[in-house]
A = this chain, B = another copy of it.
Amino acid sequence: MRVHQLERPLVRSLVQAVSRGTAELDDDAVARIFATATWSVLVEPGDGVAGLLLESIGADRALSMLIEGRPPGDWLAASVDAGSPVELGLADVAAACERWRPRLSSRLVVAALRAAVQCRAGFVTPGDAAWPDALEVLGAHAPIGLWVRGSVGALDHPGGAIAIVGSRDATNYGEHVAMDLASGLSDRGFAVVSGAAYGIDGMAHRACLASRGTTVAFLAGGVDRLYPAAHHDLLLRAAVSGAVVSELPCGSSPTKWRFLQRNRLIAAASHATVVVEAGQRSGSLNTAGHAAALGRPLGAVPGPVTSVTSAGCHRLLREFDAVCVTSVADVVEMVLGSPDARPVGASTTSGAAPGATATGRAGERRSADGPDTTRVLDALSSRSPRGVADLARRTGMAPRAVAVTLGTLALDGGAYENENGWLRM
């Protein structure tokens, strides 16, 4: 990849637009922001190797090295030169470069920036004043940058933020409780964070907006595609006073893997997470697992033991030591009353660890089979055959890793190959 001479004014104007500052950026700033945006296109969420290398040697230099095809030893040497040697093996770096390279194209980055400008999304990077410090708890798994529609200030709300999440198949009871909690917490000055899904998430955003509060929606795809479609208007309204956020560049579609990774952002960006209603397989249990692993207070709303949509909440109370919350006051007490009392887990959240813990026994079977399988299945279609190179780009994985995973899937009956490529079973 190379930014051609002709493209430079275009890149400058796009970067200037997404960086949202009024002052004109200097060349270094443009290069840095463009490189960071490029990394946001190259890697899948939660890529710890990218996190470590970019933190150590900078997005700009790392991008040059990737373009130049430098061997793993050079990367490690660069991190020593930079004064912060990374703890990675040569094989880790080699595997990472292999999975990043298939997406290395300035066309993709320019398209992402263009789409961002079109929907008026900003791009916030760790150096910026608006960057939410709460995400630092993710360590090497923190996002490379955030694409934001609406107010970047909502990301670091002065009153604090609380995640309210739960089942898509919510009951009237669950929606009623979500509404009470979201409006009550908004009234007390908290921002309400959620995932924009049907059911509990949607009700949390809606009730917060009805109370004239600040709500933040984290999406699993690009912020130019407001998903789910039925929440398009709701998300537009969220972006007026609050924000709609994603670590994925515009144009990205949501995948199972990205939903699971998006959940870590909801948990990390919030002072506490409350699960209102959740079946045994609800994705909100994954968010809860992240909150617990990050040492953030985790609350669960109980319900009738005869209701399947409360079974996940009860499991959080039993197995994750979640706090039983029944009212706004309970949530406030959980947030303000000695959060240090909760044992703090690992300071980094790998994609698999807390997710696997939270959904391990009850999660969908495919997610229990490991992250690579999930990602390849996400990228496979049951109608259009796809080749390994195509799948490598779509998944952000190395072609060889894709091939290995396809082999396993073929044995398990999850995928098959015809003359034109691979298909989902």
Contacts and interface: CB of A to CB of B under 8 A. Distances in A.
Interface of A: 173, 176-177, 301-306, 310-311, 313-314, 317-318, 323-327, 330
Contacts of A314: 302, 324, 326
A304 to B, nearest CB: 6
B318 A323 contact: yes
A305 B327 contact: yes
Given A302-B313, A318-B330, 10 more contacts: A176-B306, A177-B306, A301-B305, A302-B310, A302-B314, A302-B324, A314-B326, A318-B323, A318-B324, A318-B325
Contacts of A313: 302
Contacts of A176: 306
Nearest to A303: B304
* Interface hub of A176, A310, A313, A314 (most chain B Cβ within 10 A): A314
A301 B304 CA distance: 9
Contacts of A325: 318
Contacts of A327: 305
B324 A317 contact: yes
A317 B326 CA distance: 11
29 contacts: A173-B304, A173-B306, A176-B306, A177-B305, A301-B305, A302-B302, A302-B303, A302-B304, A302-B305, A302-B310, A302-B314, A302-B317, A302-B324, A303-B303, A303-B304, A303-B305, A305-B326, A305-B327, A311-B326, A314-B324, A314-B326, A317-B317, A317-B324, A318-B323, A318-B324, A318-B325, A318-B326, A318-B330, A324-B324
Contacts of A303: 302-305
Contacts of A310: 302
A310 B301 CA distance: 12
A9 B305 CA distance: 59
A279 to B, nearest CB: 13
Contacts of A323: 318
Q: Which 10 pairs between the two chains have the least Cβ-Cβ distance?
A: A302-B302, A317-B324, A305-B326, A318-B324, A314-B326, A314-B324, A304-B304, A303-B304, A173-B304, A302-B314
